[in-house]
C-alpha cells in the first residue's frame, strides 16, 4: 500500500498516468488530501481523482495529525495534508509518495520510505504496463510538468534504454 | 479597506506612479498590485529555496495544489528533488512486489 500526498497524486493525474498507477498499486490518501485534490471541481485532475475515489480505486482514510503532526508541520513548513499522509504511512508501515522536498526531508528524519512520480513511471515500464514509445513520451511530459533535475531525467532515460535492449 | 501610512523613498514613489500610468490605475491600486506581486514572488522564492512545501505555497497564494503546480511550470521553478533523493526512491521501488 502506498500513501500519496496531493502533489504526486495530482502530478500523475496531469501527465495521464494516474489511472495506470491505481490499477497497478493500492493507493490510499487521507481525507485532508482528498479535500485538497477535489477542492476545485472544474479542474480535470480533480474530476479524475474524484471518480477514482468513487470507484474505490483510491482509498480514503481519516487521519488526525494531533500534536506531533502540528510540530512537524511547523518544523518543516509543511501543510496538514502532507503531514497527515506522512504520518499515516509511518503508522501503517507503508510507503509515502511525494514530490515535495520538505516532505522528503521529513521522511528521512522519520525513516519513512518514499517514492516520487517519476519512480511510478519507471515501474509501469519495467512491469510492461506501458510501451517503450509511451514511456519516452511520458518522460518528456513529466520533465516539463514535474520539472525534474536533468541528472534524474538522464538516469531514467538510461534505465529505459537498458530495459528496452533487454526486451 | 483600512488606511496605513508608511515612509517610501522617492524611487519607490516614482515606481508606483510609473505603474499607475502604464496600467492606467490609481496610485493606491498600483501600490496594492505591487504588494500582491511582492507577496507572490516572496513565497515562490521560499518554495524554490526549499523553505516551504507545495501545500504551504498554495495556501499562502490562496490557490489549489493543482493551480500551484501549473504556476511552477509557468515560472520555470525547478523541482527541489535531488539526484540523491531519486536514488533513495529507487531503493524503495526495488522493495515493491
Q: Are the beta carbons of B83 and A40 separated by less than 8 Å?
A: no
Nearest to B54 among A80, A100, A118 (CB): A100
Does ipTM exceed 0.90? yes
3-state SS, residue A96: strand
**Model confidence pLDDT, tens digit, residues B19-67:** 999 999 999 999 999 999 999 999 999 999 999 999 999 999 999 999 9
B60-87 pLDDT, tens digit per residue, is: 999 999 999 999 999 999 999 999 999 9
Query: Pairing between strand A95-97 and A2-4?
Result: parallel
Residue for grid cell 493507493: A27
pLDDT in tens, chain A (167 residues): 999 999 999 999 999 999 999 999 999 999 999 999 999 999 999 999 999 999 999 999 999 999 999 999 999 999 999 999 999 999 999 999 999 999 999 999 999 999 999 999 999 999 999 999 999 999 999 999 999 999 999 999 999 999 877 76
What residues of B are in contact with residue A151 (Cβ under 8 Å)? 83, 86
pTM: 0.92
Query: Is A131 in CB contact (< 8 Å) with chain B?
Result: no
Task: Test B64 with A39 for CB contact under 8 angstroms.
Answer: yes
Measured between CB atoms, does A122 come within 8 Å of chain B? yes
* Range 28-87 of A in CB contact (< 8 A) with B: 36-37, 39-40, 43, 45-46, 76-82
Assign 3-class secondary structure to chain B.
Answer: CCCCCCCCCHHHHHHHHHHHHHHCCCHHHHHHHHHHHHHHHHHHHHHHCCCCCHHHHHHHHCCCHHHHHHHHHHCCCCCCCCHHHHHHHHHHHHHCC
**What separation, in Å, do the N-terminal and C-terminal C-alpha atoms of chain A show?**
28
Grid coordinates given for B19: 505603474
Amino acid at each position: 500500500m502506498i500513501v500519496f500526498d496531493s502533489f504526486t497524486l495530482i502530478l500523475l493525474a496531469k501527465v495521464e498516468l494516474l489511472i495506470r498507477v491505481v490499477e497497478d498499486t493500492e493507493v490510499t490518501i487521507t481525507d485532508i488530501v482528498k479535500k485538497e485534490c477535489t477542492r476545485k471541481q472544474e479542474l480535470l485532475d480533480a474530476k479524475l481523482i474524484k471518480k477514482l475515489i468513487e470507484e474505490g480505486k483510491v482509498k480514503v482514510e481519516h487521519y488526525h495529525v494531533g500534536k506531533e503532526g502540528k510540530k512537524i508541520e511547523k518544523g518543516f513548513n509543511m501543510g496538514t495534508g502532507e503531514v497527515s499522509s506522512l504520518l499515516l504511512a509511518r503508522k501503517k508501515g507503508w510507503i509515502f509518495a511525494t514530490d515535495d522536498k520538505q516532505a522528503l526531508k521529513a521522511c528521512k528524519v522519520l525513516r519513512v520510505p518514499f517514492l516520487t512520480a517519476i519512480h511510478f513511471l519507471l515501474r509501469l515500464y519495467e512491469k510492461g504496463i506501458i510501451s517503450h514509445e509511451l514511456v519516452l513520451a511520458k518522460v518528456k511530459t513529466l520533465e516539463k510538468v514535474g520539472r525534474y533535475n536533468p541528472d534524474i531525467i538522464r538516469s531514467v532515460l538510461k534505465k529505459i534504454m537498458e530495459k528496452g535492449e533487454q526486451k | 479597506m483600512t488606511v496605513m501610512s508608511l515612509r517610501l523613498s522617492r524611487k519607490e514613489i516614482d515606481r508606483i506612479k510609473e505603474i499607475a500610468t502604464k496600467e492606467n490605475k490609481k496610485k493606491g491600486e498600483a501600490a496594492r498590485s505591487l504588494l500582491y506581486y511582492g507577496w507572490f514572488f516572496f513565497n515562490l522564492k521560499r518554495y524554490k529555496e526549499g523553505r516551504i512545501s507545495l501545500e504551504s505555497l498554495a495556501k499562502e497564494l490562496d490557490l489549489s495544489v493543482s493551480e500551484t503546480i501549473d504556476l511552477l511550470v509557468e515560472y520555470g521553478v525547478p523541482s527541489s528533488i535531488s539526484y540523491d533523493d531519486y536514488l533513495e526512491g529507487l531503493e524503495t521501488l526495488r522493495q515493491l512486489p
